Amino acid sequence: QVQLVESGGELVQSGGSLRLSCAASLQSFSTYTMGWFRQAPGKEREFVAAISWRGGTTYYADSVLGRFTISRDNAKNTVYLQMNSLKPEDTAVYYCAAGQYITTRNRDGYDHWGQGTQVTVSS
């Protein structure tokens, strides 16, 4: 059974940093594009960042470009999201997602999802 387990979310002050991790129990992890999405209260789940299965091409939402960095360690079946210069508007539940052989920011393209980790940024 596929499992994606996020960790690293917590309460942080504005301007601070956090590193989220997502451990995936996926066969052939390197064939999956891994994405991070987030959902704030009352809002739809939105794309944050993705890293391709092809070799690490990265994609970012405009709102996080230059502040967040996505990376992956195929030997550990893990994807990371380094978040710097956090803002209160980054407050959300952050979800890890996996889609095999895809290249998309669209959440419908991802087959597997984690349970989410809460990130709260105080002003």
Per-residue pLDDT tens over the stretch 67-111: 999 999 999 999 999 999 999 999 999 999 999 998 888 999 999
- The b/e string for 58-96 (b: 16+ C-beta within 10 A; e otherwise) is ebbbeebeeebbbebeeeebbbbbebeebeeebbbbbbb
For residues 6 and 116, what is the distance between their CA atoms, to the nearest angstrom?
6
pLDDT digits (tens, 9 = 90+) for 5-36: 999 999 999 999 999 999 999 999 999 999 99
How many angstroms separate the CA atoms of 54 and 103, rounded?
A: 9
Cα torsion 101, 3, 46, 103 to 10°: value is: -10
